[in-house]
Amino acid sequence: MESSGIHIDVEAPLNEVIKYLYCINTPADFETTSQHLSPNLEMLLIFNFGKPLHFSYSDNTISDLQMNKVAVIGPLRKMLTYALPPDTNLIVIVFNPQGFYRLMQLPMDEIGDNDLIDPDELLQITGFHALWDLLNDLPTLEDKIGLIKEYGLRFFCEADDASYPLLKGIDYFEDPFIQPVRAIAMDSDLSERTIQLRFKKYLGYSPKELLRFLRFKKVINSILKLENQEVDWHGLIEEYGYHDQSHLIKDFQHYLDTTPHKFVKEIVGKEFCVSRERRFNS
């Protein structure tokens, strides 16, 4: 039998913070499979009501890292590889940019680069594990989603005024002829250094890191659209502004821990998931 994975959208005003929820269930006779989630720079809050979920980053063998009841991952900079076993029961909350900050009210650059984060340890509270207990007692997925939305509406905060210039200027990152940090700084009458610091605080990554990721994401999307056709690597290098083949290989190693040819041969089309398009503007 196949796994059951569904996207659940959220309504305003909660959709300013949460991009969507993704729920995965597998039956008792499900055959354990390896899944790959493409890097996306997003924050994920995971509630696991089934067996511990073993995972690793990039194209490594599944490691001893495991998700138990509640975990935070992100910003997701590397491909996430995980084993999906029988009786999986997961709810994954995927945040919009600055959405995690609006819920946690903790500067993103203070979180660090831990592989797996316990949100209660992060905030020195017991609220998330208490919420897990409440969710686990509810009989249906609909009931669980309703309670998550209720808690989200109760606890997320209004966006800081200081974050608005980032979100208003995010489209600049899609224009190769514009220096986005300089453009945002000019629009908001702030220094470029201030813009860079605010990116780290509210989003958890730098403008330079975002530019690099968005370019690599376009390469991945172009490959996925080919549907088993031969990849024109030189064409991709030229189209997306890579210096040469080694420059492109370096990004594949950085994000996926694999080579371009191995990615096409062994990963594309084999349980490789790309997150929905991100929603920057609230």
- Residue 159 near residue 282, CB atoms below 8 Å: yes
How would you list the strands of the sheet with 65-67, edge to edge? 65-67, 53-57, 80-84, 33-37, 272-273
pLDDT in tens, 124-154: 899 999 999 999 999 999 999 999 999 999 9
What is the per-residue pLDDT for 178? 94
What is the per-residue pLDDT for 56? 87
Q: Assign 281 a pLDDT band (cuts: 50, 70, 90).
A: very low
The predicted model gives 79-84 an average pLDDT of: 90
**261-282 residues labelled b (16+ CB within 10 A) or e (exposed):** eebbeebbeeebeebeebebeb
The predicted model gives 261-282 an average pLDDT of: 75
pLDDT in tens, 179-222: 999 999 999 999 999 999 999 999 999 999 999 999 999 999 99
In angstroms, rounded to a whole number, what is the distance separating the alpha carbons of residues 189 and 84?
A: 49
Per-residue H/E/C for 48-114: ECCCCEEEEECCCCCCCEEECCEEEECCCCCCEEEEECCCCEEEEEEECCCHHHHHHCCCHHHCCCC
pLDDT in tens, 153-182: 999 999 999 999 998 999 999 998 999 999
Locate 184 and state its tokens: 């945002």
Q: Assign 282 a pLDDT band (cuts: 50, 70, 90).
A: very low
Contacts of residue 191, Cβ cutoff 8 Å, sequence gap at least 6: 185
